[in-house]
Amino acid sequence: AWQQVVVGANNTYTFNIGASGGTAWVTQGSNNSYALTVYYGTTAELQGLGTQCNTTTPNTKSVTGTVAGLTSQFETATLSLGGGTGSANFAVPAFTITGIPNGTLDLVGVRSAIDIQNPTGMLANRVYLQRGLNPANGSSLGTIDFAGSANSFAPDTRTFTVATTAGEALYSLVQFTTGTASNGTLGLSTSSTSPVNMPVVPASRTAAGDLHLLNFTAYAGSFGSHTAMRSILTYFRDPTNQTIALGPSLSTPTVSLAASAPYPRFRTQTARQTEYASTWLNSFTQGSSSGGRTVVMLVSPGYVGNATTIDVTLPDFTGVGGWLNTYGPLSGTTANWTVSASGVTGGNAGVAEGLAIRSAYRLGTLNTP
């Protein structure tokens, strides 16, 4: 049975469950909007969720500098130092990178131009990569020259073939990340056709710990208006020309109301698919951020076990200490729902060479009486 857990020392929550169970929490937004999250998992999975919480505020630095080598108003530069970011353009070449963690880091800069064939996209035409920096807070990196520095180079190009079906719009993204979490977007397109040519960092410039992230997403409809999606994220240090295999479309779920009182309780039933057997997520939104409601229900593979149908119902929290029914979904309002699932292969070592994450979702609406 559901029970309230009160906050303990250092803003922590401690409770006992059996081999598996669920946790739920509510956050309040502006103007009495509420977001309810329910997570079902095994004891180990729930413990892992708790270890991801970080209540400390990291100490970060900021640095400044100036970009050289931007040749037109159509070019921009982005810079990253350990996850801290900054940007510059042809009219304003000065930059500030904020949010830089302490330690020795790599500087990744990307000079991009609007893709004339696809004005909503960007393609890198120069990359700046300098390793082993540990600048003092408030210091200057000087001039980052994309044209005349030995740290600057032209990206290579790789060709990716992605199988899509009629009526699908293809979104493509390539990012590069070093082992110090410095990163840059090399290519972005919201209206690609297969095969896709994308910039990559040459193998001669990469080092141990570096990875390219390749993201290809097929939308049933268009990027801005669609009813279903299937996607893949895959990681390589040095990508080759290759065929990228998306997973299948998500099975059409059954979305209904398990009950309408004391508040609408959503239920989803989705056939399990081999390609998507790592996480299942169902979300519902009602209204705007002003007085709206959001419900997210996550289910782990350990909790599901060998079930062939992922059957999830929003619980009835009535009578549980601390719960108010006003936190729940609204009656008489349309709920926009998303049912999604994901699967991971090659990920036993975490984010590493060969990791692939396939996901898919479907969208719809449900009226609450």
* pLDDT exceeds cutoff 90 at 207: yes
Of the three residues 200, 225, 244, the one that is the final residue of a domain is 244
* Domain identity same for 69 and 42: no
Residues contacting residue 123 through CB under 8 Å, at least 6 positions apart:
112, 113, 115, 186, 187, 188, 198, 199
Is residue 3, in this structure, part of any structural domain at all? no
Is residue 302, in this structure, part of any structural domain at all? yes
Average pLDDT of span 174-198: 92
* Domain identity same for 26 and 107: no
* Residue-range definition of the domain harbouring residue 150: 60-244
Q: How many domains in the chain?
A: 2
* Domain identity same for 47 and 91: no
Q: How far apart are CA 361 and CA 228, in angstroms?
A: 6
Confidence of residue 362 (pLDDT cuts 50, 70, 90): very high
Is residue 151, in this structure, part of any structural domain at all? yes
Of the three residues 244, 276, 301, the one that is the final residue of a domain is 244
* Domain identity same for 98 and 222: yes
pLDDT in tens, 75-120: 999 999 998 999 999 999 999 999 999 999 999 999 999 766 666 6
Is residue 342, in this structure, part of any structural domain at all? no
pLDDT in tens, 120-168: 689 999 999 999 999 999 999 999 999 989 999 999 999 999 988 778 8
Q: How far apart are CA 212 and CA 52, in angstroms?
A: 24
Residue 265, number of CB atoms within 10 A of its CB = 20
Percent with pLDDT over 70 in the chain: 96
* Domain identity same for 280 and 226: no
pLDDT in tens, 222-257: 777 899 999 999 999 999 999 999 999 999 999 999
* Domain identity same for 21 and 142: no
Token pair 């009835």: residue? 316
Bond preceding residue 262 cis, omega within 30 of 0 = yes
Q: How far apart are CA 200 and CA 158, in angstroms?
A: 7
Residues contacting residue 102 through CB under 8 Å, at least 6 positions apart:
59, 60, 61
Alpha carbons within 13 A on the beta-carbon side of 227: 6
* Domain identity same for 29 and 107: no
Is residue 345, in this structure, part of any structural domain at all? no
**For all residues of the chain together, what is the average pLDDT?**
93
User: Residue 62 region, left (φ>0) first, then alpha (ψ -120 to 50), else beta?
Assistant: beta
Give first-to-last CA distance, the chain, whole Å.
27
Which H or E run contains 158?
Answer: strand 156-162
* Domain identity same for 279 and 180: no
Laid out side by side, the sheet with 242-244 consists of: 196-200, 156-162, 242-244
Are 263 and 181 in contact by the 8 Å Cβ rule? The answer is no
Q: What is the pTM of this model?
A: 0.91
* Domain identity same for 36 and 157: no
Q: Tokens standing for 152?
A: 């600057």
Which H or E run contains 58?
Answer: none
* Domain identity same for 327 and 239: no
| Per-residue pLDDT, 5 | 94
Q: What is the DSSP string of 285-310?
A: EES-TTT-EEEEEEE-HHHHTT-SEE
